[in-house]
Amino acid sequence: MSTTTIAATEVELNDEGFFLAPEQWTEEMAPELAAREGIDDLTGDHWTVLQFVRDEYFEKGTGPTVRVLGKTSGVSVKELYQLFPKGPAKIAARIAGIPKPRGCI
Amino acid sequence: MADAITKISIIISKGSLDGIYPGLIMANGARAEGIEANLFFTFFGLDAIHKERHEHIKMATVGNPGLHVPTMLGGLPGVSSVMTKYMNHKMEELDIPSIPEFVEMIADTGAGMYACLASVDLFGLEKNDFIDQVQDIITVGEFYEIAAGGQIIFT
């Protein structure tokens, strides 16, 4: 666990860089979090995914897997990997300030 | 994490439902973690990417003690089909995609898909018999070139 300053606000992250308290997250933090993942420009499609994973997390208690994202977010699996090449579900969860999604598929 | 896995190549050599799924799940899971992944289909594993056959992959009900069905029973006509239906139904409940859908999804994640030349020749198949996601039919040597710098998993 570590305390980090994102967008001039102190937040708590776990060892893997996921938010420990998703309610600490604000939209202003997303560009800085994205830059840490090597994504310099957050497009509308990125935001669609970020919003979706946050909604899913608060509704279901866990973020969606890539399979769920591809089926229900309106963004295809192919596009998801173009947006988040290093793993859409994992990277989107980090940028959207939610815990790492658990799921094998 | 200096020793994190960054690349894997998975060989799928069996043509049964329980022979194909684990490799697919591992490949998909690797991509989800941002790990580079390649799939190499050989021997009966080729059925997983065969246009006509991959919709009809069956559970092995003979010589499969893990299933806890006596071999004599498992060999009766229709038992494999019934067990396959049951298994597919269970997986659908858990939202695990069917093999054709799963293979397509894994290709969409950017994983490489290759068929083994020796097996393709052995079974008298050609590129046309396989789904479009299969990039190439390659030799073992070419597979090792593609797998270079990563880990290899045989299933």
User: pLDDT tens for residues B87-101?
Assistant: 999 999 988 999 999
Report if residue A103 sits inside a domain.
Answer: no
Give the C-alpha separation, B70 to B62, whole Å.
8
CATH of the domain at A63: 1.10.10.370
Name every residue whose Cβ is closer than 8 Å to that of residue B101 and which is 6 or more positions away in sequence. none
The DSSP code for A11 is: E
Given this model, what pLDDT does residue B2 score?
A: 63
- Catalogue the active-site residues of A: 104
Name every residue whose Cβ is closer than 8 Å to that of residue A15 and which is 6 or more positions away in sequence. A1, A2
Contacts of B105 in chain A (CB under 8 A): 67, 70, 77
Report if residue B1 sits inside a domain.
Answer: no
Of A25, A3, A23, the residue nearest A13 (C-alpha): A3
Given this model, what pLDDT does residue A53 score?
A: 96
Closest CA in chain A for residue B30: A87
B11 SS3 class = strand
Contacts of A86 in chain B (CB under 8 A): 34
Given this model, what pLDDT does residue B56 score?
A: 92
Closest CA in chain B for residue A84: B34
The tokens describing B32, both together, are: 């989800």
Element (H, E) at A57: helix A44-60
Residues B34 and B68 grouped into a single domain:
no
Count the residues in chain B. 155
Given this model, what pLDDT does residue B67 score?
A: 87
Contacts of B34 in chain A (CB under 8 A): 85-87, 90-91
Is the CB of A104 less than 8 angstroms away from the CB of B33?
no
Give the C-alpha separation, B8 to B4, whole Å.
11
CA dihedral for B155, B134, A92, B152, sign (positive or negative): positive
- Interface probe with A: pick from B1, B26, B99, B108, most Cβ of A within 10 Å: B108
Report if residue B33 sits inside a domain.
Answer: yes
The DSSP code for B50 is: B
State the total domains in chain A.
1
What is the per-residue pLDDT across A27-83, written as a single tens digit (0 to 9) for each? 999 999 999 999 999 999 999 999 999 999 999 999 999 999 999 999 999 999 999
Residues B105 and B92 grouped into a single domain:
no
pLDDT reading at A18 higher than 90: yes
Is the CB of A90 less than 8 angstroms away from the CB of B110?
no
Report if residue A39 sits inside a domain.
Answer: yes
In angstroms, what CA-CA distances link A16 with A23, A41, A102, B9? 18, 22, 14, 25
Which stretches of chain B score pLDDT less than 70?
1-2
Given this model, what pLDDT does residue B64 score?
A: 86
Give the C-alpha separation, B114 to B39, whole Å.
6
Given this model, what pLDDT does residue B116 score?
A: 96
Residues B13 and B80 grouped into a single domain:
no
Which structural domain, as residue segments, surrounds residue B80? 60-97
State the total domains in chain B.
2
Residues B84 and B147 grouped into a single domain:
no
